Amino acid sequence: MDVLRLAGVPGVGKSAVAWAVAERLASDGVPTGYVDIDQLGMCYPAPSDDPDRWALKETALARLAVRFRDAGVERLVVSGVADPSQPPPASGFPTSSLWLDADEETRRRRLAPRRWEREQVDAALAAGTEEASTAHPAWQRLDTAHSTIEETVQAVIARPAGGAEVASDVVFPEEHATARVIWITGPRCAGASRVGWELARRQWVAGERTGFVDVAQLSFSWNADAVNGAEAAAVVQTVFAEVGAKALIVVAPFEVSPKDVRAAFPRPDVRFFRLDADDRTRRGHAVRRAEGADGASLAGDDLYGASADAIERIIATGARQRASSLRIGEILIGTPMSSTQPVVDEVAKRAGLSALPH
């Protein structure tokens, strides 16, 4: 397996380009995987010796890459930020490391859909210009400002990977296991992602070192065996536990069963929460998501920009999921349309998060 690494400052198009590259490789029949490294570092408060969590994310990526290799992936596409002052990190696999560039005007235009405040955009642009000007010369540079995504994709795929694969395997040290795993799922559009994120933020504000992962973002693969999402989450959990995380909050697709989760997390105390919402509430969530008004767009998001017909198909899928029986260990919690906070508080109470040591 080789790794295609795309980095750069906000607004250069790294996520859009990386996803398009993965889709192109997949359509060509290449066994392909995709991961956004930013999804591997959501553990706060950050370690004092790794305040930007560079080492945390790189460690998680190196371990997770083994899972993709074992699934038969031949090319793993990785997008996300990287430390600009350092040479491209080694992942243990032959790697093509590209730093994408774009001028400030282009980046401002590309950042517009994120609906940031003007001050936030200006700050990101200024910081990005500084980072790009000092990026380590070992990165291969690729300007995206005057190219279509299709042209950029072609240029990226043409870059050869360098280096050799280093024999490695995922290690699960017995002494490293978070005290608790809070697994949140539910039918489509019931609000699991929103509740999980707000629960994680609650812990971070309280100063409790806690990890957060979205299972769907850890297991994209095409033309290869499926990457086990629960096992991928367990890989990231060991990394977070090694820096002192006391809990891991996981949001996951309904299809991942508690049985698979228990197999992946044999040691931690796992609490399963299944959210529930009626069709009207879930449709409201779906419409807001389609309009881009309900959180950031993530890789593989089939709701972002979805048509009315597509939304109805997704709601129908959720209705079938909702009608299924509770699985062993699941705690059912209703999610009203009006407010997420009562649900967050209820999950926190039932998960016993307040009892975790400081």
Domain residue ranges of the chain, discontinuous segments joined by +: 2-157, 180-355
Task: For residue 248, list its beta bridge partners.
Answer: 181, 211
Give the three-class secondary structure for 314. helix
pLDDT of residue 357: 45
Mean of the per-residue pLDDT values of the chain: 90
Q: What is the pLDDT of residues 223-278, one digit of tens each?
A: 999 999 999 999 999 999 999 998 999 999 999 999 999 999 988 899 999 999 99
Q: Determine phi and psi for 347, rounding to 5 degrees.
A: -60, -45
Pairing relationship of beta strands 247-251 and 140-143 according to DSSP bridges: unpaired
Q: What is the pLDDT of residue 335?
A: 86
- Please say if the pLDDT value at position 89 is more than 80: yes
Is it true that 2-157 and 180-355 share their CATH fold? yes
Spatial separation of the C-alpha atoms in residues 256 and 270, rounded to whole Å: 14
Give the containing element (helix H, strand E) for 331. Answer: strand 330-334
State the fold for domain 180-355.
Rossmann fold (3.40.50)
Q: Check: CB of residue 199 under 8 Å from CB of residue 182.
A: yes
DSSP 159: S
2-157 CATH choice from 3.40.50.300, 3.30.230.10, 2.60.130.10, 3.30.750.24: 3.40.50.300
Q: What is the reported pLDDT for 113?
A: 79
How far, in Å, CA of 197 to CA of 52, rounded?
Answer: 19
> What is the pTM for the complete model shown?
0.91
Q: How confident is the model at residue 173 (pLDDT cuts 50, 70, 90)?
A: very low
The helix/strand count (H/E) of the chain reads as: 11, 12
β-partners of residue 126 are none
Looking at residues 64-83, what average pLDDT do you find?
94
Backbone angles phi, psi at 109, to 5 degrees: -65, -40
Higher pLDDT, residue 110 or 160 = 110
